[in-house]
């Protein structure tokens, strides 16, 4: 913890965002293309590793993403060994086995049912543990929603540093939880394959809704 007063910390934070906006007001279309508009989900991978340095770089980006009340409920299991892939393969639908076995890195995006116990560290200026203690439905909704958000940050972080991603939900959460999280407070959300894509496995881009089909004003 910093020795600065709360008021000084707030002033520093306000100045930092003002400085950022002076340095850069928006990213250009090429960066937007890389992150979202021309990015694709990938299913096959080159035989190139994702390094420990890249993994740490991605996490350093992800950890700064917003979550409600700074709860940060996501936990990440980084599967990059043959033994880990064999354990994970037990949970997969058959069509998804080669996607994981060929990926240099698969991240199990999980969430901690006791995330709220860490609020004194993450939200130190006010103790809000009482908002969650004994409230299982609220714990589930908060943790699942925000760990999903953090998983999406992981996808964007990977693309931002030049890697490709393929998110996956075709697996048994129960088997993953039994294999990786037995006796813990963690539960799996979804899987994220990361590496350098083999583009030969891509197919045509699928349709999207137009603005007027799904957006409205109120």
57, part of any domain: yes
6, part of any domain: no
State the DSSP H helix or E strand holding residue 168, giving kind and residue range, or none if neither: strand 164-168
Q: Does position 12 have pLDDT exceeding 60, yes or no? A: yes
Question: How confident is the model over 61-102, as pLDDT tens digits?
Answer: 999 999 999 999 999 999 999 999 999 999 999 999 999 999
* Containing structural domain, residue 109: 31-201
Q: What is the pLDDT of the chain when averaged over all its residues? A: 96
pLDDT at 6: 86
CA 177 – CA 92 distance, rounded (Å): 13
DSSP E strands, 20-73: none
CA 141 – CA 179 distance, rounded (Å): 24
Tokens 């910390």, residue located:
9
Which CATH number does the domain housing residue 77 bear? 3.40.109.10
Question: Which DSSP category does 50 fall into?
Answer: P
Q: Does position 180 have pLDDT exceeding 60, yes or no? A: yes
Domain count, the chain: 1
Question: Which DSSP category does 41 fall into?
Answer: B
Question: How confident is the model over 101-141, as pLDDT tens digits?
Answer: 999 999 999 999 999 999 999 999 899 999 999 999 999 99
Check residue 163 and give left, alpha or beta (phi > 0: left; psi -120 to 50: alpha).
beta
pLDDT at 1: 52
Reference 184, options 88, 87, 112; nearest CA is 112
16, part of any domain: no
63, part of any domain: yes
Judged by average pLDDT, the poorest of 6-10, 58-62, 210-214 is: 6-10
24, part of any domain: no
Q: Does position 2 have pLDDT exceeding 80, yes or no? A: no
19, part of any domain: no
Q: Is-contact 195 99, C-beta < 8 A?
A: no
């Amino acid at each position: 913890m910093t020795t600065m007063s709360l008021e000084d910390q707030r002033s520093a934070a306000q100045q930092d965002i003002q400085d950022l906006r002076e340095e850069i007001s928006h990213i250009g279309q090429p960066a937007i293309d890389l992150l979202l508009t021309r990015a694709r989900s990938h299913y096959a991978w080159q035989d190139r590793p994702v390094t420990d340095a890249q993994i740490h770089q991605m996490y350093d980006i992800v950890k700064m993403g917003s979550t409600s009340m700074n709860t940060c409920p996501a936990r990440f299991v980084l599967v990059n060994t043959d033994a880990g892939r064999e354990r994970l393969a037990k949970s997969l639908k058959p069509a998804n086995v080669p996607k994981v076995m060929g990926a240099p890195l698969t991240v199990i995006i999980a969430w901690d049912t006791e995330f709220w116990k860490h609020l004194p560290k993450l939200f130190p200026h006010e103790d809000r543990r009482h908002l969650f203690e004994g409230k299982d439905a609220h714990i589930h909704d908060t943790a699942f929603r925000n760990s999903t958000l953090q998983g999406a940050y992981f996808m964007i972080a990977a693309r931002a540093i030049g890697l490709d991603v393929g998110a996956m939900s075709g697996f048994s959460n129960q088997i993953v939880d039994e294999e990786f999280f037995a006796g813990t407070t963690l539960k799996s959300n979804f899987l994220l394959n990361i590496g350098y894509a083999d583009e030969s496995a891509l197919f045509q881009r699928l349709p999207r809704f137009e603005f007027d089909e799904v957006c409205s004003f109120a």
